[in-house]
Amino acid sequence: MHLALTGASGNIGEFCLREGLAQGWRLRLMTRNGKRPTAVDALPAPDLEVCQGSLADRDFAPLLEGCDALVHAAFAHAPGRYRGGEGDDARGFWELNLGASIALLEQARAAGLRRVVLFSSRAVFGPHQIGHLDEAATCLPDTHYGLQKLTLEGLARLYSSEPQRFAVACLRPTGVYGTRLDPAASKWAGLVQQIASGQWPNGNRQASEVHGSDLAQAVTCLLEAPVEAIAGQVFNVSDLVTSQQVLADLIAHQLSQDLPSNQGRPALEPMHGPVLDCDKLSALGWRPRGHSGLVADIAELVAGLSL
């Protein structure tokens, strides 16, 4: 397979890049400067091409020419923010991200690509729905980010009207964790450094998570499944629910630090938002790593940070 990938320097994009190389695919990345992301230099990647471009360019021919499929992982937002990622420019946020997504879909179809994978988000449900929700549950986004991701899901359906020719599918992940090629860029690197310095977190927020490599394997499922199973479809992607205190305990264990007494621990906070039911993706053969994989990743992250 010859795969075009946007957003390879981001969290999700990096895991998709690593999965594509592990699958032995030819990959073409789009980066602003036309160079490989620095962290990728450590990977053996003989079949990795790079072209220059950005979401603002709207001319994606150099990225798409000769490719079989597209994974669109790029998303422009205010630094460090997804919900609220529009900052003080909601109109620009919509015009850049949605405009680029439509241009990519139009140009990918015209260039003869057969499949596209887009990334939605659990944010389409909003924070007030709780319990287990499947893909058919009502979406009630309360942010520009969530509403834009819901719009992408609609685009997947719209552009899959001729699925044997062009099929688009969406993955709807929860939080995404996992040790990056640059460990300091990993989601929980700050928490590891905090605990290493002797500061225990004073909150105990719960969140649902999936490892980035498992999310990338979900991409592979969609690219390899029968077209009628994925065209215009949305798939929830989640693995486990964890909390700040559980993560802190795992990190402290890896650092050989003593744990605080139960009396000094904050109470578990209520879950904000739903837990996603992933039976639909599991039917395609997807299997996430579970709690043992979380423990292994924390060990990898601590080792990678050399603490």
Query: What are the pLDDT tens digits along the chain (307 aa)?
Result: 999 999 998 999 999 999 999 999 999 999 988 888 887 887 877 778 999 999 998 899 999 999 999 999 999 886 666 667 677 789 999 999 999 999 999 999 999 999 999 999 999 999 888 889 999 999 999 999 999 999 999 999 999 999 999 999 999 999 999 999 999 999 999 999 999 999 999 999 999 999 999 999 999 999 999 999 999 999 999 999 999 999 999 999 999 998 887 766 888 888 888 899 999 999 999 999 999 999 999 999 999 999 8
187 and 142 in a common domain: no
User: What's the confidence (pLDDT) of residue 78?
Assistant: 67
pTM: 0.95
Residue 125 falls inside a structural domain: yes
115 and 64 in a common domain: yes
Residue 142 falls inside a structural domain: yes
Separation in Å, CA 194 to CA 198, 211, 304: 7, 22, 15
User: What's the confidence (pLDDT) of residue 166?
Assistant: 98
Residue for token pair 């230099």: 41
Separation in Å, CA 155 to CA 18, 122, 233, 254: 27, 17, 10, 44
Structural domain count, the chain? 2
CATH number where 134 lies: 3.40.50.720
User: What's the confidence (pLDDT) of residue 263?
Assistant: 64
Task: Assign 3-class secondary structure to the chain.
Answer: CEEEEECCCCHHHHHHHHHHHHCCCEEEEEECCCCCCHHHHHCCCCCEEEEECCCCCCCCHHHHCCCCEEEECCCCCCCCCCCCCCCCCHHHHHHHHHHHHHHHHHHHHHCCCCEEEEECCHHHHCCCCCCEECCCCCCCCCCHHHHHHHHHHHHHHHCCCCCCCCEEEEEEECEEECCCCCHHHCCCHHHHHHHHCCCCCCCCCEEEEEEHHHHHHHHHHHHHCCHHHHCCCEEEECCEEEEHHHHHHHHHHHCCCCCCCHHHCCCCCCCCCCEECCHHHHCCCCCCCHHHHHHHHHHHHHHHCCC
**Interstrand relation of 167-173 and 234-237 (parallel, antiparallel or unpaired):** parallel
Residue 279 falls inside a structural domain: no
Residue 43 falls inside a structural domain: yes
221 and 123 in a common domain: yes
42 and 10 in a common domain: yes
164 and 82 in a common domain: yes
Nearest alpha-carbon partner for 175 in 271, 88, 295, 43:
271
Rounded to whole angstroms, how far apart are CA atoms 126 and 36? 36
User: What's the confidence (pLDDT) of residue 81?
Assistant: 65
93 and 57 in a common domain: yes
Residue 201 falls inside a structural domain: yes
230 and 296 in a common domain: no
Nearest alpha-carbon partner for 133 in 142, 149, 122, 118:
122
Residue 281 falls inside a structural domain: no
258 and 154 in a common domain: no
- Convert 198-217 to b/e letters by CB count within 10 Å (16 or more is b): eebbeebebbbbbbbbbbbb
User: What's the confidence (pLDDT) of residue 82?
Assistant: 67
Cβ distance 173 to 180 under 8 Å? no
104 and 90 in a common domain: yes
202 and 162 in a common domain: no
Residue 284 falls inside a structural domain: no
Rounded to whole angstroms, how far apart are CA atoms 9 and 17? 9
Quote the domain boundaries for residue 31: 2-177+211-237
Report residue 299 as tokens: 């060990």
Report residue 276 as tokens: 């996603």
92 and 63 in a common domain: yes
Cβ distance 7 to 183 under 8 Å? no
Residue 203 falls inside a structural domain: yes
50 and 159 in a common domain: yes
